[in-house]
Chains A and B, each alone.
Chain A
Amino acid sequence: MTTESHTTAARERIGRSEEHEGMDEITILWISEGMSCDGDTVSLTAAMQPSIEDVVLGLIPGLPKVNLVNKVLSPSLGGEDFLAPYRAAARGELDTPFILVIEGSVPNQDIIEGDGFWTSFGNDPATGQPQTINWWIDQLAPKAWAVVAAGTCATYGGIHGMAGNPTGSMGLGDYLGWDYKSTAGLPIVNVPGCPIQPENFMETLVWVLQHAAGDAPPPPLDHMLRPQWLFGKTVHEGCDRGSYYEQGDFGLDYNSPKCLVKTGCWGPVVNCNVPKRGWMAGIGGCPNVGGICIGCTMPGFPDAFMPFMDEPPGGALSSLVIKPYGAVVRRLRGVTNEMVNHEPKWRHRKSKLTSGYDPYWRP
Chain B
Amino acid sequence: MTTTESRPTGRKPAQLVDMSWDPITRIIGNLGIYTKIDFANREVAECHSTSSLFRGYSVFMKGKDPRDAGFITSRICGICGDNHTTCSNYAQQMAYGIKPPPMAEHITNLGEAAEYMFDHTIFQDNLVFVDFCEAMVKATNPTLLARAERTDAPRGEIHGFRTIADIMKAFNPFEGEVYKEALRVSRVTREMFCLMEGRHVHPSTLYPGGVGTMPQPSVFTDYLSRLMHIIDFIKKAVAMNDDVFDFFYEALPGYEEVGRRRILLGCWGAWQDPAVVDYRYASMNEWGKAMYVTPGVIVDGKLVTNNLIDINLNMRIMLGSSYYDDWVNEQPFVTHDPLGNPVDMRHPWNQTTVPVPQKREFDGNYSWVMSPRWYHQETDKHLALDTGGGPLARLWSTALNGLVDTRYVKAVDGKVRIQLPKGESLPETTLEWSIPKWSNTLERDRARPYFVAYAAAMALQFLEESMELVRAGETKVFQDFEVPDEAIGCGFHEAVRGVLSHHLVIKDKKIANYHPYPPTPWNASPRDIYGTPGPYEDAVQGQPIFEENGPDDFKGVDIMRTVRSFDPCLPCGVHMYMGKGKTLDVVHSPTYGASHG
Residues of A at the B interface (CB closer than 8 Å) are: 1, 3-4, 6-7, 10, 27, 33, 35-43, 45-46, 48, 53, 56-58, 65-85, 87-89, 93-96, 112, 114-123, 129-130, 158-160, 162-167, 194-195, 253-255, 257, 260, 274, 278-281, 283-286, 289-292, 294, 296, 302, 306-309, 355, 357-363
Contacts and interface: CB of A to CB of B under 8 A. Distances in A.
Interface of B: 20-30, 52-56, 59-60, 62-65, 67-68, 71-72, 75-79, 81, 122, 134-135, 172-176, 183, 186-187, 190-191, 194-195, 197-207, 209-214, 222, 323, 330-331, 352-360, 476-478, 480, 507-508, 510, 512, 569-578, 581, 583-584, 586-597
B394 to A, nearest CB: 22
Given A35-B55, A75-B589, A195 B60 contact: no
Contacts of A292: 204, 212
Contacts of A33: 23, 30, 53
Given A40-B78, A159-B72, A290-B211, A75 B23 contact: no
B323 A116 contact: yes
B68, B72, B204, most chain A CB atoms within 10 A: B204
A-B pairs, top 9 by smallest CB distance, nearest first, are: A116-B357, A291-B204, A39-B78, A76-B594, A290-B212, A88-B597, A284-B194, A67-B593, A37-B78
B597 A166 contact: no
B202 to A, nearest CB: 6
A40, A57, A165, A254, most chain B CB atoms within 10 A: A254
Given A72-B28, A115-B357, A292-B212, A37 B77 contact: yes
A81 B355 CA distance: 31
A115 B535 CA distance: 28
Contact of A121 (B30, B207, B352): B30
A159 B183 CA distance: 29
14 contacts: A1-B589, A7-B591, A35-B53, A76-B25, A89-B596, A116-B358, A130-B52, A166-B56, A194-B202, A283-B222, A291-B206, A309-B68, A309-B207, A359-B59
B173 A75 contact: yes
Contacts of B359: 115-116, 129
Contacts of A289: 198, 204-205, 212-214
Contacts of B175: 1, 3
B187 A48 contact: yes
B583 to A, nearest CB: 6
B352 A116 contact: no
B594 A1 contact: no
A83 B581 CA distance: 11
A120 B30 contact: yes
A324 B210 CA distance: 35
Given A35-B55, A37-B77, A45 B572 contact: yes
A190 B569 CA distance: 26
Given A58-B591, A72-B573, A114 B358 contact: yes
B76 A286 contact: no
Given A78-B25, A254-B212, A285 B573 contact: no
A36 B586 CA distance: 32
A286 B570 contact: no
Interface of B is mostly: loop
A129 B29 contact: no
A44 to B, nearest CB: 10
Nearest to A78: B575
B174, B212, B573, B586, most chain A CB atoms within 10 A: B212
Contacts of B586: 1
Nearest to B555: A77
A67 B571 contact: no
Contacts of B63: 164, 361, 363
Nearest to B62: A361
B71 A308 contact: yes
A296 to B, nearest CB: 8
A1 B575 CA distance: 15
B596 A45 contact: no
A70 B480 CA distance: 44
A38 B187 contact: no
A165 B202 contact: no
A75 B575 contact: yes
Given A1-B586, A38-B28, A78-B21, A166 B355 contact: yes
Contact of A283 (B191, B353, B508): B191
A78 B590 contact: no
B36 to A, nearest CB: 15
B78 A36 contact: yes
A75 B59 contact: no
Contacts of B65: 306-309
B191 A42 contact: no
B592 A257 contact: no
A43 B200 contact: yes
Contacts of B52: 117, 119-120, 130
Contacts of B64: 164, 306-307
Contact of B79 (A38, A80, A117, A360): A38
Given A37-B77, A72-B26, A75-B173, A84 B68 contact: no
B172 to A, nearest CB: 5
A3 B78 contact: no
B480 A291 contact: no
A257 B214 contact: yes
A59 B446 CA distance: 36
A85 B588 CA distance: 14
A45 B182 CA distance: 12
Given A67-B596, A93-B597, A78 B72 contact: no
Nearest to B358: A116
A358 to B, nearest CB: 8
B187 A280 contact: yes
A46 B587 CA distance: 24
B570 A42 contact: yes
A94 B597 contact: yes
A266 B72 CA distance: 16
Given A71-B25, A122-B23, A1 B572 contact: no
Nearest to A284: B194
A68 B25 CA distance: 14
Contact of A39 (B54, B201, B209, B589): B201
Contacts of A80: 581
Given A114-B358, A115-B359, A164-B63, A82 B23 contact: yes
B67 A307 contact: yes
Contacts of B508: 363
Contact of B358 (A83, A115, A360): A115
B175 to A, nearest CB: 5
Contacts of B77: 37, 39
A7 B56 contact: no
A44 B355 CA distance: 32
B478 A253 contact: yes
A89 B594 CA distance: 12
A284 B75 contact: no
